[in-house]
Structure 1
Amino acid sequence: MHVNRLTNTPLFLRVCCTLKRPQGKNYHGAATASEYSPEPEYPPILDMSRGALRRRKKEAWHEKVKNLPTVEQKLIELNMPKYHGYWACQIKDDWHKVNGGNFLRYATRTHVTKDFPVEYYGGVKGEADELAQRIQGQVEDLILLHYNEKLKRENGNQIAITENFFYGLHKIVNGALAPTVEHIRESTVDVRPRIQAFWFLGGIEPDRILRKTRKNYPRTKDIENEPVDRPMQSTCTPALCVRGNLSLPEVVPLDHSLSTSGHVPVETLDPRAYGYKFKHSHATTLTGFWPGDSKEHAQVWYHTDACLKRSMNLISDKYLEDYLEQKMIVASFSQALAHASYLGFSCVNELTYPIVQQSVVSDGRKWHFSTYQMNTCALHSERAIENPVNNILWLNDEQFLFEAVEDSGVKGFNVDVLANLVAMYLKKGVTRDDATPYLGPYKCLAHHPASEEYRQEFRDFLCNYVLSGRPRQIRKPEIYLWEKIYKIDFKTRPYEPPRRFFEPHYAQKHPGQRRLDDYSAVYIPKALRKDKKVRTKPRINSEELFKYD
């Protein structure tokens, strides 16, 4: 190496230091005029507190769900945060609680009124009365067949009797309307469809364990009593559903007093205080058919009142009215929310127009008619209380279709009840300009541009693991009682290797933090590989269906 004796520096370093770097003008052109503004533009100042960061993260997730193009992708994304499912409150339309009426009104943000909207059916009332007179004889024969003690086919099974009566009654009404009413002629029927809905309910007070956890952690000590969102999973069991191509028009506009100032009680206690149970379950939303069906709008729902009679036998008749309201609140809200989810809305994205459901609950003799208008479906965070609109349930008083059945025939037949049912069939839906604003042009997975193989795999994963309701083959890990005593409270096993999720080790991860896509990629046998270098299948992804790491 040659060294300069004066500076004691290697010659090749001196040469490198003397090289001139090119000027910046050789790397980019002149700045455009659009890069300058007369006033300085500063980035927004964001609140960096823990609560603000959590709120922005939640809003970003809500926006992600809204931008997904298909119904199936939205359902997967709602389940993505929890591999083992949400610890959700289970609500059913045939489970009635003595003090659960006000809580269900708050959980669904529903205002209940007895003033049935007669003017809503004013345009079809005359035609309904005329048709009811024409089919009265057929309905009386049907009543005689099912409710005469000597002629009825079922012995003692009241639910089967009522359901078979519903099927025959629908056949009579549908046969009389089909030749002249187009939307009834093109309708279809679901027998005992599976209806489930999932949403987040905000404003719930934290339980004792959560308050204790927050209090013992320095960073959450100041939010010890802050309300939380509770996952809610509802199920209803209708006997029959008639659905068609058009959605029912709104009963009242969104700026009506019933929609903006209807009375909704505020019940923020934990659902367990009212007797409801929690269990791990995936966010399941179903409305009796798979997405993509052209006849996706419900016309009328039939419900039996067998659960009401069972509850009356166990408790008292004085709760009958309250139990009926509980049943119709859960059933109507579940039906409307499931329908809204298939239109691209969800429990984290608000509706852009009201959704209306028509229902009847009966044992064949006693009838109740209800109309439900869903104005809001996003009830998370503060929206459960601070919401500009509320949902509305119109529920009329009890009416009798007939008084008694004797050998000579039906006594006291009330044709007005039959006319009310026919009016629900005759109510025609409307065509909306943009019924699915949050869905892409293909709307459902069947029309997704991905390959058939990926679409089939995605559909199987959604149906078999998420929406099936079957528990996982490997249950969620839990802390057993002996571990609580000998490993947590009293550390008496120091030589046992730490391998459980609550013990500190290199692969420690809490089961509640495991995501739906957090699983080992499926291995592809060598003989079945399309590409010999690709050994595993991609993992599920809500945006791209499947994605490699």
Structure 2
Amino acid sequence: MLSKHYFSKLISLKHVPCSQLSAPTSRLRSTTSSEYTSTPNYPPIYSLEPKAVTKRLIESGADKLKKVPTVEEKLLALNVPRYWGWDSVMVNEGNLPYDFLPFAQHITRTRMIEVDSLPVPLPSETLQQVMKTVKDQLEKIIVFELCHRNHKFLLVEDPLDLTEMRLNELYGKALIEQINRCILSNFAPHVPHLVDLLVDFEPRHEAFWCVGGFYPSEEDKWYQRYLNKFWERSNDNLDDPMDRWIQYIGSPVLAVRSRFPLDPIAPFPGPTIEDTAVKPVEEVPHSEKDGEKPSQKPTEIAAGDKTPTERTFEIPSYKYDPRITHGLEIKRQYGLNIPGFFANDRHEFGFLSYHRRNHMLGRPPNFGVEHDEALHAQAILASYSWLLGQACYQGFSTYNDPTYPLTAQTVITDGRLWSFYAYQLNTTTLYHDHIDTNPHQNVCYGLKTTELYHSIEDGKVKGWNEKALETLFSFYLNKCRVREGVQMKPYLDPQTPLVECIEDDEKRNWLDKHNKYFIRRPPKYGWVPQIYEWEKIYRIDNDTMPMSARHKFYQKGENPMKDDTWINRHERKYIPKPLRKEGAYRRKYEKTFWPDALV
């Protein structure tokens, strides 16, 4: 039925001259004619299948995360979609189950290459004299720490309750700290880049990333089958691969940081799936899309006339539930990326880290005598996690690949047995189907475990391993320098890369407060939604209460841990009336500044 307003418009048009009516018609004709093009431009056609829709939503969230301006907001954005936290696979540094290397390679996409020697920078004659002096001082340090110093009485616990594993940790920690101090103090006057290094003792190294392609567990299948029954859908999606979030927690004995990154040790963006051998590199290729220029030459692993023998561990496809295969715990918590320092620290790149190996004494005898593969797994996880945290502080994440390589040097030792590794981070996008389609890989070069010395007899160190000493010294001689022509933080706002640079006091204080809140990893208050046993028996498995009120989430076909659980819909602080600001609108709740990136 036509309205009165329509008829009033018609009556008013009767008294309008035709000359006035022709003007808008001509304008309309001119605008429509300009919309025609020589070739038709059709809008993109998107698939409406559930898998395609899910993939588009994930990629859209990744693009949003790339546009978030500050480091702290990017870290907050990872936890926004889950009010109760993520179901995270907990990977601890000292927990190395049997046959753990394939799993560590899969979740980090790392190709492990075991070589006979790592690149050693040629020292000058002055440094060779310094190395002899350092060797004599190292002998005194080892003899004093192991023969003359009583470490038992420096502890709070009862010395009689100390185990062999704990004693090995004490001796190893003391030796590592003294060896690092001795090398830095003697090399610093002759090696300029060592002067500006910063040493952290037992820092907090944590990393959080997403890995796709895992087979669903029976519990996941059961709940998906229940949702399909509730929404009257088919069960074709029960065997679809799922993403799992990995939370690594570690703490090295000490970590050395620098203001500039180390030189690359392999091509960037790294070897592809088709590559099977490491090739010598002349320069780091640049991305024309990002407008980057080639940086300095990377250090060649296979330098010299003789190529060292290699043993390559290719990346396996490991898609089984880690709870069953390795007994890892899945815990619901917020994801954290912490490389051992805050985002506003100027020393934001890793140089060298020392890790314990006392947990090898507690491995069961049936695991075998050789522990090299377990140490490889420990080095891969420790190096990848440390570099991922540094990459997050540069604006990258598990959803956005770094645009340049990051390198770390890792040492696992107890003072006598030493394992040396060099790791290069090339890619971090392992979520969803990228675990299968991503052509790039990370690379880790490592040496077999070797002795620094054989024994101590009559206050003297016997059987020095000169090769191990050269490798240790070479880690300190490797230079860290500015990447010329490379934009180090392409995904951060140049004006406000950090929260502390935001001029708005309210927003800056709010983001700083909530970022530190998540770093503390506090427990959530309130009851976590769950299904009690009597509900599963009498309401789900057997519908014996059809007339009861349907208020629970499983009666509505919802998942409270995933559906409609965004933090920005729950966390709103009430403002009492006396504290509300004067104005036209006095806000009842505190203003929030959650980042707009739902991943």
TM-score, scaled relative to structure 2:
0.81
Query: CA offsets, 1:237-273, max 9 Å, x none?
Result: 2110000111011111137658863521111112222
User: Which residue of structure 1 aligns with residue 41 of structure 2?
Assistant: 41
Which stretch has the larger CA shift, 440-449 or 176-185? 440-449
The residue type paired with residue 510 of structure 1 is P
Counterpart for residue 144 of structure 1 = 143
Counting aligned pairs with the same residue, the percent is 27
Would the alpha carbon gap of residues 12 and 357 (structure 1) be closer, same or farther in structure 2, given more than 3 Å must change?
closer
User: Which residues in structure 2 correspond to 1:486-497 (within 5 Å)?
Assistant: 486-491=538-543
1:309-328 map, 5 Å: 309-312=361-364, 315-328=366-379
Matches within 5 A, 1:139-538: 139-148=138-147, 150-154=148-152, 157-215=167-225, 217=228, 218-219=232-233, 221-254=235-268, 261-262=275-276, 263-274=314-325, 275-312=327-364, 315-432=366-483, 433-442=486-495, 444-464=497-517, 466-491=518-543, 498-504=550-556, 510-513=560-563, 514-519=565-570, 521-531=572-582, 533-538=586-591
CA drift of 1:515 comes to 0.9
Q: Whole-Å Cα distance in 2 between the matches of residues 139 and 180 of structure 1?
A: 19
Moved more, 385-394 or 300-309: 385-394
Q: Are the aligned partners of 2:91 and 2:328 in contact in 1 as well (CA < 8 Å)?
A: yes
Cα deviation, residue 406, structure 1: 3.5
Residues 357-400 of structure 1: CA distance to partner in whole angstroms, max 9, x if unpaired? 10111110111111111121111122212321211111101222
Matched letter for residue 228 of structure 1: M
SS of match in other structure, 1:301: strand
Contact 2:65 2:74 in 1 (8 A): yes
**RMSD, matched Cα:** 2.9
* Post-superposition offset of 1:522: 0.9
Task: Determine the C-alpha separation between the residues in 2 that align with 1:288 and 1:443.
Answer: 22
| Other structure's SS at 1:96 match | coil
Cα offset, 1:61, TM superposition: 0.2
CA 1:176–1:228: 2 relative to 1, 3 Å: same
Residue 84 of structure 1: how far off its partner (Å): 0.8
Q: Counterpart of 1:18?
A: 11
CA distance in 2 between counterparts of 1:418 and 1:248 reads 21
Aligned to 2:89: 89
Change (3 A) 1:102 1:277: same
Aligned residue in 1 for 2:115: 115
CA contact (8 A) 1:124 1:427 kept: no
Structure 1 counterpart SS, 2:141: helix
Q: 1:475 to 1:306 in 2, by over 3 A?
A: farther
Q: Which has the higher contact order (CA 8 A, sep 6+)?
A: 2
- Counterpart in 2 of 1:547? none
For 1:339 and 1:41, how far apart are their aligned partners in 2?
Answer: 43
Aligned residue for 2:174, secondary structure, equals helix
Structure-1 residue corresponding to 2:294: none
Instruction: Work out the CA distance in 2 between the residues paired with 1:188 and 1:13.
Output: 77
Aligned to 2:289: none
SS of alignment partner, residue 236 of structure 2: helix
Residues 264, 170 of structure 1: CA spacing in aligned structure 2 closer, same or farther, 3 A cutoff?
same
Query: 1:455–1:273: structure 2 CA closer, same or farther, 3 Å change rule?
Result: same
Judge which range, 406-415 or 181-190, deviates more: 406-415
Equivalent residue letter for 1:385? D
Change (3 A) 1:220 1:176: farther
Q: What are the ranges of 5 or more consecutive residues in structure 2 without an aligned counterpart?
A: 154-161, 277-313
Instruction: Decide which moves more: 288-297 or 99-108.
Output: 99-108
Secondary structure in structure 2 of the residue aligned to 1:196: strand
The aligned counterpart of 1:60 is: 60
- CA change 1:143–1:105 in 2 (3 A) is same
Larger deviation, residues 249-258 vs 66-75: 249-258
Distance 1:171 1:260, change over 3 A: farther
CA distance in 1, matches of 2:386, 2:437: 24
Number of residues paired by the alignment? 528
What secondary structure is seen at the aligned counterpart in 2 of 1:381? coil
Counterpart CA distance in 1 for 2:191 and 2:6 is: 94
CA drift at 1:492:
5.1
Partner SS state of residue 146, structure 1:
helix
| Letter matched to residue 11 of structure 2 | T
Shift of 1:291: 0.4
Structure 1 residues 147, 225: CA separation in 2 closer, same or farther (over 3 Å shift)? same
SS of the aligned residue for 2:89 comes to strand
Shift of 1:109: 1.1
